[in-house]
Structure 1
Amino acid sequence: MTEKVETVDIKGWAWDIAADIYFPPSFDPSKKYPAVVSAHPTGSCKAQTSGNVYGTALADAGFVVIAFDASFQGESGGEPRSVEDPGFRVGDFSFVIDHLVTLPYVDDENIGVLAVCGGAGYAVQATMIDRRVKALTTIAGSNVGRLMREGFSQYDPMGMLEAVAAQRTAEARGAAEQINDLLPPSVEAAQEAGVTDIDVLEAADYYKTPRGAAPGGKTSFNFARQGALALWDAYDRVETFLTQPLLVVIGDKPGGFASQRLGMELFGRAASKGKELLVVEGASHYDLYDRSEPTGKALERVIPFFGEHLHLNG
């Protein structure tokens, strides 16, 4: 098992990005290791799935892994809090890579990215922009911009933008921030409200119970700051610019957060010649966060995929 985790603060936009570095067993600082940047889901934090599940497993396999909190979230800086802005979230990846390339034990020619759920959409854009990324894996990847135009806005993005504008005006005049929790407080509360969607129910089971709850995982949006998502699309121009090797991992159980549909779309559209689609049978979106059998099946392909494209062990 991973023997050491180091917490670091990385210089970002005008604040620090908090990150945990996971080291391989018997780590030797005189050697060079391929590295993987691991990004958390929307409204999550580095302690949830990106770090404690995928970060740990990849480090155990021989990679240096860095799991980070997005700007405005978790232990990272940035005000106001709970902002989910695609420009900042995409840019965070390059700041994290800037830090990696200064570390003498990181092979800067072999850096990959793994990202989960909404983090995967930001990772797609970051991979297209930052050519230091040599391979990308998405786990139950989603496209938060698409979801904002769909269910997150009740299929009324223009109405949502009008409400955001009104809220920003109110806050500029002294009103309190509006922080909206994306999830019901419990599975039972969701069921009592008539929720039947598997993704919403399982999200509550993950984030609102000891199974996955973490202090930095707020599952919240700052409403007045979410307008940019309505115009953003994670898959914009992937047919041209997403050329690095790509592994898309999804479950075969569809849900409201659409990772199955969106993962298939990404796989079909990406320009990557070395692209793979792994469908984990019997797995839902949230099974791929932490359930041992589905994540084990994912890692059976994720680890050799990065091993091949990031030249693990030379």
Structure 2
Amino acid sequence: MTSVIIEDKGGVKMKVGVDVGDGFITPDPKGAPEEVKQVFDMLPEFKFRPDDILLCTYQKTGTHWLFEILSMINNRKAELTQMTKGRCMLEIVPQSAINQLPSPRVLNSHYPPRLLPKDKALSKPKTILCVRNPKDTAVSFYNHMKGFRTYDYDGKFSDWLPIFLEGKLEYGKYTDYLLEWEKVITKGKDFPIHLMYYEDLKLDGEAELERLLNFLDIELDKQLQKDILNACGFDKMASDKFQGPKHIVDKMFRENFRFFRKGEIGDWKNWFTCADNEMFDETWTKEMANSKLFEFKYSGPRS
């Protein structure tokens, strides 16, 4: 088993992960395809604990941000955790390692509902689904692939964007992900789900944190809530997380890459050409035509 290699529309190659079956691609950050496939094959039988929180997101839609917020809520402290979401990621980390994590755990996955553990319907872990407008998601995903050495990619955004829309990258189409979750939510939920929007959390963090706490049935005093939001501010996260030995950082990331790049609403306008935007809107509108759940914000407040 080897990594899948594809080309963008300009002919530039990229490594996009491991095909674990039926064309579904899972990332391979360690360069160990056999281990990734083994984790995938065992995931359906994963068992949740009663106090687990499951964070579900598509790639680049706020996972690290919410992971920190949820961890602070669990710890009742406005301090960034020493844990990273990668150590709690169901499709990357072997179950034996996740089972060693202390409770309460914040587990996370970019997988669509059909690939999540079957135990979710029995154990009913409280599940947070966070989504983000697809244009900013695409820009963040592109920069993610350019920055991580494992993808070995250095193509142009306009050549990469059609590949994203076609679902040829890890985790497949964002539209498919959203529509699958919409079916789960609208047909009657087997487990408690709380839907959040990246943009709403950015624009009104206090209200969104209050809604999240109500869903989790957890009470925190107002000062701690404010402290958590301040501790999880973008600049704070960018400066304090993912700092490590230079030789490790250099091995993982290209020079000058920032994992927390901007986090803005509407940065896509600095990347999309008119042709990109027309192509994107046509495809997105067609594929999401039957969706009645998701409504995205594509710009923030005027400065």
Q: TM-score, normalised by structure 1?
A: 0.33
Structure with greater strand share of residues: 1
Structure with greater helix share of residues: 2
Q: TM-score, normalised by structure 2?
A: 0.34
